[in-house]
A = this chain, B = another copy of it.
Amino acid sequence: MTWINGQFQASLPVSDRGLAYGDGIFETIACINQTLHLWSRHWQRLQQGTKQLSLALPEQQTLLNWIEQALAEKNNPPLAVVKIIITRGSGGRGYRSPDQPQPRTIITVHPWPEHNADDYQQGISVMVCQTCQAPQPALAGIKHLNRLEQVLAAQELSANNCREGLMLECLPVDNNKSAKKTVIEGISSNLFFVTRGRLLTPKITYSGVNGTIRSELLEQAQALDIPLATGRYELQDVLNADEVFFTNSIFGILPVSKIIYQYGQKSRHYQQRDVSMRLAKRLNPELQRPCQFNSL
């Protein structure tokens, strides 16, 4: 069952602009022993998302009360995933928003996905997806509901038995053969890699999501004195790296053992885990995820 604006409801009106145009945002939050993990970062991103889309955001306390209600109805599971969707509410036909939109906040509680211990100990296999992310600065960073690029990329995964996909930025329209392949993120996670002890992650300027764990790590790395940079990086930089890992709000830090590229024809194996593990030790236990990675 579902909570919509604090009311217990099974379904939503077909006139909702979230359905019609993906006119809204969402958050996926780990709830550990009734605590919303990194709530302030999720709240910050909700604020940023509603601002970029000129969407009204409920009061923080109201939202927290609604989440509490939704969790209570599930008997407060010790581990759960809370998903929040905020749409612009109902509208008529046409892209133009109603003059007085009545946003809808939809809260659902999902089972906690158990992890595969091998994924953490050995690292996961990742493929470079052909589906690219189109650079759209007006939507970069926020977790909006226009996710067909991710849906198409996820379709590629199924065929290749990979746990995650690495997404590149779409090549420029007037592409000459020398155009560089810029990396952005995973399908549902952020990308980090380590080169000569330096932690690197793509800047989220033209596409990609400002992940909550990503933001947290950028801070943790400073606290651990791990040298850090964000920028525009090429696929080749990642292939040349010593360590690679992905992050998201549910699985934490997940090391990569292999990247498959060039349409499945080539692969690169990663054996080091030193920096990844130092960071994972800070963060993964909070999400009840392993932080002992095997260096191969």
- A interface residues with partner B (beta carbon < 8 Å): 2, 4, 9-23, 26, 28, 53-54, 81, 83, 85, 87-88, 92-97, 106, 108, 110, 131-132, 134-139, 144-155, 157-158, 169-170, 172-174, 182, 187-188, 206-207, 232
Contacts and interface: CB of A to CB of B under 8 A. Distances in A.
B135 A134 contact: yes
B12 A147 contact: no
Chain B CB count within 10 A is highest, among A9, A53, A135, for: A135
A85 B151 contact: no
B53 A152 contact: yes
A148 B155 contact: no
A95 B54 contact: no
B136 A170 contact: yes
Given A10-B14, A12-B12, A96-B157, 6 more contacts: A17-B151, A23-B148, A83-B93, A145-B148, A146-B148, A172-B174
A53 B155 CA distance: 9
B81 A188 contact: no
A23 B153 CA distance: 13
A155 B96 CA distance: 6
Contacts of A135: 134, 170, 173
A148 B149 CA distance: 13
Contacts of A137: 170
Contacts of A28: 93
Contacts of A22: 21-22, 145-148
A134 B108 CA distance: 31
A148 B21 contact: yes
Contacts of A154: 94-97
A54 B155 contact: yes
A138 B149 contact: yes
A82 B96 CA distance: 18
13 contacts: A4-B14, A10-B11, A11-B11, A19-B145, A21-B145, A22-B146, A22-B147, A23-B151, A92-B110, A96-B154, A132-B136, A139-B149, A146-B148
A150 B91 CA distance: 15
| Complex A-B, nearest 10 residue pairs according to Cβ-Cβ distance, in ascending order | A22-B22, A134-B134, A21-B147, A146-B146, A134-B136, A11-B11, A95-B154, A95-B150, A96-B154, A2-B14
Chain B CB count within 10 A is highest, among A131, A147, A153, for: A147
A157 B155 CA distance: 36
A274 B28 CA distance: 55
A174 B83 CA distance: 36
A138 B147 CA distance: 13
Nearest to A26: B20
Given A21-B151, A138-B149, A139-B148, A96 B16 contact: no
